[in-house]
Structure 1
Amino acid sequence: MRLLAFTLLLGSAWAFADDRPLRFSVVDSWAMPLAHIEDGKLTGGILFELFSETARQVHRAPAFHLLPRARVEQALLSHVVDVRCYVAPSWTEHEFHDYRWSVPLMVQRDLLVSRAGLKGELQSLTGESIGTVLGYHYPRLQPLLDNGRLTRDEARNQELVLKKLQIGRYRYAISSEIALNWFNRSLPKGERLTPASTIEETPLACMVLDSPEVPADEILKALATLKADGTIERILSHYR
């Protein structure tokens, strides 16, 4: 992973030092395979590869701004970051008229996950504590929380949510499919966590600041090309 990170950074357009870096937002609660964060810095993972390749395509060096999830939207409103990725319009509280949306780049498939092969639909559960990531909004879960049928048991990131499920803190958790597969990759078959049901599938994209200092058209074109030519699929395949 360190070699890959070093190679990608060398491949970034350091020769274009006259242009300021392209600033990407990084949520400090992201975990692998989305992001490897070490000593407060993004050093690997799916989004590290995507950000680095996007910056290379537009001849900018990437700069990674590590932020708590609750501060990401304020950073956008203040134009502290140029690009926010792995996001859907339904996940944002503001419309952000100064930002433009890319084409959908990947799909997040959210699952209800269980131990020991338990099955069940989220809407059919009652009296359960559901493992969730602190600060994440779950549209399908919220009505069940509001009427008191279910409660949340939160952890700081997706990996910790799954670890708590593994040791039996609760019987069900919500996880993306890619995070579940990453978590299970080194576990014996009989100990792996399993999908109880699919909750929803959400197309995810990037938001790009439309500003004289940011080549928004080039960035959006680069992202569309990375999707169309299979680069994003190849990045995802590294973590399956």
Structure 2
Amino acid sequence: MWRILSALLLASTASQAADPVLRFSVAESWAMPLIRVEQQQPVEGILHDLMLAVARDVGHRAQFHVLPRLRLQHAMENGDIDVRCYVAQSWLTIPENTYLWSLPLLQQRDLLVGQPGEMQPLLPKQLAPQAIGTVLGYTYSTIEPLFASGQLQREDSRNQLLVLNKLNANRYRYAISNQLSLDWFNRELPAGQRLRPLAVVEEQSLGCVVRNAPDLPVQGILRALLHLKASGELQQIIERYTQPTVATP
């Protein structure tokens, strides 16, 4: 019996090793609910589940490459990754036909966020000169002029969760956060302790880019992404990670 079990285990391991690999990029700056990384490998989150679903649909094994945001462009240019998700076309400069775009999958809303006591809507241009929380390597195009003029100064953190933790700890009065990360941060807090969205800074549609190469099932990957959106599976994944866990009093 032990020999049979050993043979089955070896066969399973060999089969997995023989599966073709689909290489996904993961930005170090991502945080929950987008993704959670342990020991340089993602273990849960919206994008983690999305990538696994795509790899499953095309019969490949997902392989994750966790990289600093500023190294992602170089990895794409070198062909070191096959699929990069959660990107907008305005963010990338890639040679024509090197990568193909999926349809828009997610909507990112970047918000000006304040502490729980902040009640009134407030635009970034209305802020007095001060430092605000930002994510390292991320460009906030609509408020870059305020950084350039010196009215606002960036206080960068490695990822979005750290930005919100510092805001919650009064390291600064305001920060920029995407809606998904803010909802995740607030989901276990009572209503009176939640960080407050004050204004929409920028809103844009994000999708994935797929390396256009004969060794990849490019059209299959694009169809898998389309099916995830059209079938409602992607929305179910999002809701799994964004539903509040504490009732509002």
TM-score by length of 1: 0.90
1:25 aligns with 2:25: yes
Name the % identity.
Answer: 46
Structure 2 counterpart of 1:128: 130
Aligned counterpart, 1:228 = 230
Per-residue displacement from partner, 1:188-218 (whole Å, max 9, x unpaired)?
A: 2211101011112110000000101111111
Deviations 1:135-157 (A, max 9, x none): 11110121111111111111111
- The whole-number CA distance in structure 2 between the counterparts of 1:77 and 1:182 is 33
- Whether 1:69 and 2:72 are equivalent positions in the alignment is no
**Residue type at the aligned position of 1:41:** Q
8 Å CA contact 2:28, 2:158 repeated in 1:
no
List, as ranges, runs of 4+ consecutive aligned residues in structure 1 with deviation greater than 6 Å: none
Greater displacement, 119-128 / 159-168: 119-128
Task: Say how many residue pairs are matched.
Answer: 227
3-state SS of 1:59 partner: coil
One-letter identity of the residue aligned with 2:118: G
The answer for unaligned runs of 5 or more in structure 1 is: 1-13
Structure 2: give runs of 5+ residues left out of the alignment: 1-13, 243-249
Aligned to 1:141: 143
With 124-133 and 99-108 compared, the bigger mean Cα shift is at 124-133
- Displacement of 1:93 after TM fit? 3.8
Q: Where do residues 41-190 of structure 1 align in structure 2 (5 Å cutoff)?
A: 41-95=41-95, 97-115=97-115, 116-118=117-119, 119-190=121-192
| One-letter identity of the residue aligned with 2:64 | F
**Corresponding letter in the other structure for 2:100:** R
Distance 2:219 2:233 in 1: 19
Separation in 1, partners of 2:230, 2:151: 43
Cα distance in 2 for residues equivalent to 1:19 and 1:44: 22
SS of 2:241's partner is coil
User: How far is the alpha carbon of 1:79 from its aligned partner?
Assistant: 0.4
Displacement of 1:226 in angstroms is: 0.8
How far is 1:43 from its partner? 1.0
One-letter code of the match for 2:27?
Answer: V
SS in 2 for 1:238: helix
Contact residue 16 and residue 59 of structure 1 kept, 8 A = no
- Amino acid in the other structure paired with 2:239: S
The answer to whether the 8 Å contact 2:133/2:163 transfers is yes
- Structure 1 residue 177, shift from structure 2 partner: 0.7
Corresponding residue of 1:9? none
Matched AA of 2:77: L
* Deviation of 1:22 (Å): 0.4
- For 1:113 and 1:21, the matched residues in 2 are separated by 40
Show CA shifts across 1:216-235 (max 9, x none). Answer: 11101110111111111111
- TM-score, normalising length from structure 2? 0.87
Secondary structure (helix, strand or coil) at the match of 1:168 reads: coil
Amino acid of the residue matched to residue 86 of structure 1? Y
Q: Measure, in 2, the Cα distance between the counterparts of 1:40 and 1:56.
A: 21
Q: Which amino acid aligns with 1:63?
A: Q
What amino acid maps onto 1:161 in structure 2?
V
Matched AA of 1:108: Q
**Match in the other structure for 1:8:** none
Distance 1:226 1:179 in 2: 21
